Amino acid sequence: MSNENELSHRFEINGRDFSNAGRASTSIKEILQEIGIDSSIIVRAAIASYEAEMNVVMYARRAVLTLNVTPEKLHLKLEDEGPGIENIDLAMKEGFSTATDEMREMGFGAGMGLPNIKKNADEFEISSTPGKGTTIKITISLDSTENK
Amino acid sequence: MKEYFHSIRIDPEKCEGRMKCLRVCPTQAIRVRNAKAMIIAEKCIDCGECITACPHGAIVPLTDPFGELAKFRHTVAIPSPALYAQFGREILPEKILSGIKKLGFDDAFDLALTCGEVSFAIQEYLREYKGPKPLISNACPTVVRLIQVKYPELIDQIIPIELPRELAAREIKKKKSKQLKLKEKEIGTFYLTPCPVKMISIKQPAEKGESFLDGAISISDIYGPLLSAMEGIEKGSYRKALENICILGVGWAMVGGICRTLRLKNSLAVSGLGEVIKVFDDIERGKLRNIDFVEAYSCAQGCVGGSLTVENVYISYNKILKLIETLEFEQIKACPDIREVRKLYSQKYFFIKGKFEPRPLKPLDKDLAKAIKKRKEKEHIYESLPKIDCGACGAPTCLTFAEDVVKAEAELIDCIFNLSQRFKEPSQGFSELFNKYSFRSQTKSSPKKHAKKEKQ
């Protein structure tokens, strides 16, 4: 699948690893800046990937976040091993959260993570198997933006 | 391509190519080519780290010489409040301002009062602002430039209120020209600056407006003469001198001073470029959206830590802190009238003329498909490098070297570990010597590890 017009990067994220949380989203931002993606798109990708990363750190055991960029589209895929989500519709509601008090104390768990990822994506897919893990795929379209 | 004016120059006569500057530059804007350092204008944010790092004094800030004063009919010095922290505790602003006048300026203006006005104006702006948070102080021009280059999406969060020194210069010109029946351009306003970046913010304001200041003179240049000039000045009443100090304005000299003197509860203060970058990363991720205001300075401890100051930064920081504490304790409030400030604020008196625009770095290629290809090539090259960031190629890190190669600004054989390729048949001695260094084999280790480290 290694297309010469496709840039892909793989990031590993570990559950409870708060000190490294945010690294993947920072790298993603830097890569996108280097190839000249419009800053309004970069900020969407950075927020979506950061929220995804934080979800892993807070709830899952580990995950792989993959970035794929072609001249037309930007894809982010997050596959985690973790508890999964029982009721996806409920989890997608703004303000719904299963965060512990400790997490809220740190400023997380406002129930905005998944809705925020969706808000920043053009296409959003989520699937989950309780007890096994969750997969989120998002696409951001690059067509409309001129490269500067 | 647009040209950027910078306040830093490298003197090729003095530069010995020792690469100290190469390693300290936070935006990787320096390269050593033919044993001389050079600055990539597009990447430089004028922080001045390289000036301090150079052991030969080859990197010089571009400030104005004293002789510039002769060009004007009337001259006014506007010292940064950081100047007030450069002398002993007994020397208060009043005496410093008298000393400056003895040096040949027709007048010296206490900027602390204007800083106080601007503090109030910031408070007003914070109160009515409804956009994404936090708002970011524009007091440090390096921080504003960092946002333009690396955090373009935060640009609308920079407070669009004119800097105190600009407001002061604007008003001085207006007032003095009437008083003295001179033209505004015959009145020279000079900022006494703690750092070189203030110089470019005068020559080329970040918001593309025009500066009202005519020049900047380094505090370190004026320090000696000023110290002698102050010797003959009668010591007035300490208490009386204290009563004229605007506490809000003095706070501008140090990190956290604005937050503290305004008593902003939901704000934070950060100094040192590396720390500022960490905070901005968090702002960008939306982590600090509950904070109202961020005060950020490129220099450690704020303006008192500027590279053109003289006193030890911790001592001068402490002096400002103690002065604020004394003023708080004595309940001295020689500050502008807030009702007056509110009136002026509603008349748009405080706002900057232009607008802050992003200054993103050039991408690897204008065409996205080509940029993607080049980015992959860069990764490929990087994987083949020793990753020890020795700097011998002239680039600060192996990663920046890989980028330079992809941009055709350097060649692979500039890396000493690729040196063997220069010789068709390396002598046996050379090969043995070369093989002794195991760097190359190390680079073949797990690529995942390196992907993580790539950040820098």
Co-location of B308 and B407 in the same domain: no
Contact A107 B287 (CB under 8 A): yes
Co-location of B220 and B274 in the same domain: yes
- Kindly provide the ipTM of the predicted complex, given to two decimals: 0.86
Rg of chain B over all Cα atoms, to the nearest angstrom: 25
**Among chain A residues, CA nearest to B283:** A47
Rounded to the nearest 5°, which phi and psi values hold at B3? -95, 135
User: Is the N-terminal amide bond of B141 cis, ω within 30° of 0?
Assistant: no
Q: Domain count for chain B, please give it.
A: 3
Nearest to B364 among A35, A50, A148 (CB): A35
- Tell me the whole-structure pTM to 2 decimals: 0.85
DSSP assigned state of A106: T
Mean of the per-residue pLDDT values for chain A? 88
pLDDT tens digits for B65-115? 777 888 899 999 999 999 999 998 889 999 999 999 999 999 999 999 999
Please tell me the total number of residues recorded for chain A in this structure: 148
Co-location of B398 and B369 in the same domain: yes
Co-location of B88 and B46 in the same domain: no
Q: Looking at residue B183, which CATH number applies to its domain?
A: 3.40.50.1780
Co-location of B335 and B380 in the same domain: no
Co-location of B26 and B166 in the same domain: no
Nearest to B375 among A35, A40, A71 (CB): A35
pLDDT tens digits for A91-142? 888 878 877 777 776 667 666 789 889 999 999 999 999 999 999 999 999 9
Q: What pLDDT does residue A21 have?
A: 86
CB B201 within 8 A of CB B193: no
Contacts of B436 (CB under 8 A, 6+ apart): none
Q: Does A107 touch chain B (CB under 8 A)?
A: yes
State the CB neighbour count (10 A cutoff) for residue B299: 26
The parent domain of residue B189 ranges over: 66-346
Parse chain A into domains and list their residue ranges. Answer: 7-141
Residue B354 lies in a domain: no
Q: Does B454 touch chain A (CB under 8 A)?
A: yes
Contact B372 A69 (CB under 8 A): yes
Q: Does B286 touch chain A (CB under 8 A)?
A: yes
Which has the closest alpha carbon to B205: B216, B218, B219, B194? Answer: B216
Residue B414 lies in a domain: yes
Co-location of B114 and B253 in the same domain: yes
Contact B284 A46 (CB under 8 A): yes
Helix runs in chain A, H state only: 23-34, 39-59, 88-91, 101-105, 113-119
Topology of the domain covering A7-141? Heat Shock Protein 90 (3.30.565)
> How many angstroms away from the CA of B311 is the closest CA of chain A?
37
Tens place of pLDDT per residue across chain B (456 aa): 345 667 788 999 999 999 999 999 999 999 999 999 999 988 999 888 898 899 999 998 877 777 788 889 999 999 999 999 999 888 999 999 999 999 999 999 999 999 999 999 999 999 999 999 999 999 999 999 999 998 988 999 999 999 999 999 999 999 999 999 999 999 999 999 999 887 777 777 777 677 899 989 999 999 999 999 999 888 778 888 888 899 999 999 999 999 988 989 899 999 999 999 999 998 988 789 889 999 999 999 999 999 899 999 999 999 999 999 999 998 887 889 999 999 999 999 999 988 898 888 889 999 999 999 999 999 999 999 999 999 999 999 999 999 999 999 999 989 988 876 666 565 666 667 666 665 554 444 444 444 444 444
Question: Hey, which residues does B36 pair with through a beta bridge?
Answer: B33
Q: What angle is formed at CA B411 by the lines to CA B405 and CA B417, rounded to 5 degrees? A: 105
**Among chain A residues, CA nearest to B152:** A39
Which has the closest alpha carbon to B324: B395, B391, B249? Answer: B249
Contacts of B329 (CB under 8 A, 6+ apart): none
Give me the half-sphere count of Cα atoms (radius 13 Å) on the Cβ side of residue B198: 32
Co-location of B250 and B369 in the same domain: no
Co-location of B300 and B192 in the same domain: yes
Q: Does B408 touch chain A (CB under 8 A)?
A: no
